[in-house]
Amino acid sequence: MKLIFIGPPGSGKGTQAKRLAAQHGVPHISTGDMLREAIADGTALGQQAAPIMASGALVSDDLMIGIINDRLAKPDAARGFILDGFPRTVVQAEKLDTIVGNGSGNEADGLRVLQLLVPDEAIVKRISLRRSCPVCGAIYHLESARPAVDSVCDREGAELIARPDDNETAVRKRLEAFHRQTLPVATFYKTKQVLREVDGIGPVDEVFERIERSLS
């Protein structure tokens, strides 16, 4: 399985991608998680990315392509992967073609792309209720996916946090970046006939079933 998830911020792609990766025994590769790790570790990459991410803008194509090139060269990605948050621009998508596959429409040896459809109005509300575990990255939602104990991760026992870029100003900027820079990526894959669109509205389990059906 070589699968790319495309969707606006807060569309649930992280949650669904993680679950699908676990089910299919392939790595879940989230460029957002990798950047947040670099920030937590205080690396040069993290220091460069932090202010850009906090503003809701995209990190440069060159940096992101370097990161994904190194990650996909690791042995665990040889049999497949689920990409979450990459490619986010057409330049990244074109580069990915040269790294992993031809995206020619031949799904047997190419990429498959799944686009989660969630309208903008639903996004801002969803994101303001999103919390995550700073230790394991598990994602919760204060209405639809609550932890057993308020504000505490079920697995790690850590205090849940809101992401620094989950404030309204940054969310609007991230949505704008999605429309202007990432939706053309969906068109890019549609032209290659490897795109499947799935309705991302509804409970997590229901959306997951739709995803599995669309891939089978």
Judged by the rule CB under 6 A, the positions of this chain that interact with ligand AMP are 9, 31-32, 35, 52-53, 56-59, 64, 85-86, 88, 92, 165, 174
Q: Is 74 a catalytic residue?
A: no
Shortest distance, position 176 Cβ to ligand AMP, whole Å: 11
Nearest distance in Å: CB 145, ligand AMP: 17
User: Residue 88 catalytic?
Assistant: yes
Which residue in the list 36, 131, 174, 210 is annotated as catalytic? 174
- Between 95 and 192, CB nearer to ligand AMP: 95
Q: Catalytic one among 13, 19, 192, 210?
A: 13
Count CA within 13 A, CB hemisphere, residue 10. Answer: 27
3-state secondary structure of 81: strand
- Which C-beta is closer to ligand AMP: that of 92 or that of 115? 92
Catalytic residue chosen out of the listed positions 36, 126, 163, 192: 163
Instruction: Provide, rounded to whole angstroms, the least separation between the CB of residue 125 and ligand AMP.
Output: 17
Instruction: Judge whether 130 counts as a catalytic residue.
Output: yes
Angle, nearest 10°, between helix axes 204-215 and 13-24?
60
Nearer to ligand AMP, 57 or 122 (CB): 57
- Cβ atoms 22, 136 nearer than 8 A: no
Spot the catalytic one: 19, 36, 88, 210. Answer: 88
| Collapsed DSSP state (helix, strand, coil) of residue 197 | strand
What lies within 8 Å, CB to CB, of 124 at 6+ separation is: 10, 168, 171, 172, 175
φ/ψ bin of 137: left (φ > 0), alpha (ψ from -120 to 50), beta (otherwise): left
Q: Which two tokens stand for residue 197?
A: 């669109």
Q: 3-state DSSP helix/strand/coil percent for the chain, to nearest 5?
A: 50, 15, 35
Residue nearest to ligand AMP (CB): 32
Q: Is residue 180 among the annotated active site residues?
A: no
Q: Which is nearer to ligand AMP, 87 or 194 (CB)?
A: 87
The set of catalytic residues is 13, 88, 130, 163, 174
